Chains A and B, each alone.
Chain A
Amino acid sequence: MTRFARLVRALPSLLWLLAGGFAVGCLIALG
């Protein structure tokens, strides 16, 4: 499997992590 294919396969979970982090960041900023 190429490096690019591995990245594409991991993309959904990375996006979930990004969204989760975004939500936590928003909550921290809102206090």
Chain B
Amino acid sequence: MTVPLLSRRTAVRGALVAVIGGIGGYLAVRASGAAGPSGTTTANAYGPTRGRTAAPLLSLARLPAGGVVVLSDARIVLTRSPAGEVHAFSAVCTHAGCTVALSGRVLACPCHGSRFAADTGAVTRGPATRPLPSVRVVVRNGQVYRS
């Protein structure tokens, strides 16, 4: 009787090891946060629509003309033009869902290095291809609210 090149026991053991490796790799990437939030959390990344009683995002006094503020908890970037208009867009990188951070005059994604213009949210460097989506805000009584 010849010895089979690949016994059933060996094949099963190999498959088991590969599956364990796969689960390990999947969990490792999930735990590292490199994969970004899953589909359901991406949909909620901009938060639920809030009524008029919602807490203000920021006091206008903390956003000078020409200034940029990243609200990492709300995941919103607030900008104020030199003329004083307040604009907001999502701080969620359109590539993998990480929160961008202000780096000088640009918004930099810490995960894969995408760059966005701080005043428009436009992509200035990949791998992201889509601009940061704008978020509607209103200014009432010197406070910035999500509208």
* Chain A residue at minimum C-beta to C-beta distance from B21: A21
Q: How large is the interface on B (under 10, 10 to 19, 20 to 34, 35 or more residues)?
A: 20 to 34
Interface residues of A in 13-27 (CB under 8 A from B): 13-14, 17-26
Q: Is the interface of A mostly helix, strand, loop or mixed?
A: helix
B21, B27, B29, B30: the one within 8 Å of A17 (CB)? B21
Interface residues of B in 86-126 (CB under 8 A from A): 96
Q: Are B17 and A18 in contact (CB under 8 A)?
A: yes
Please, which residues of chain A bring their CB within 8 A of the CB of B24?
18, 21-22, 25
Q: Are A21 and B28 in contact (CB under 8 A)?
A: no
Q: How large is the interface on A (under 10, 10 to 19, 20 to 34, 35 or more residues)?
A: 10 to 19
Q: Are A29 and B25 in contact (CB under 8 A)?
A: yes
* Chain A residue at minimum C-beta to C-beta distance from B26: A25
**With A and B bound together, what is the CA distance between A10 and B136 in angstroms?**
60
- Chain B residues within 8 Å of A, Cβ to Cβ: 10, 13-14, 17-30, 34-35, 96
- Chain A residues within 8 Å of B, Cβ to Cβ: 10, 13-14, 17-26, 28-31
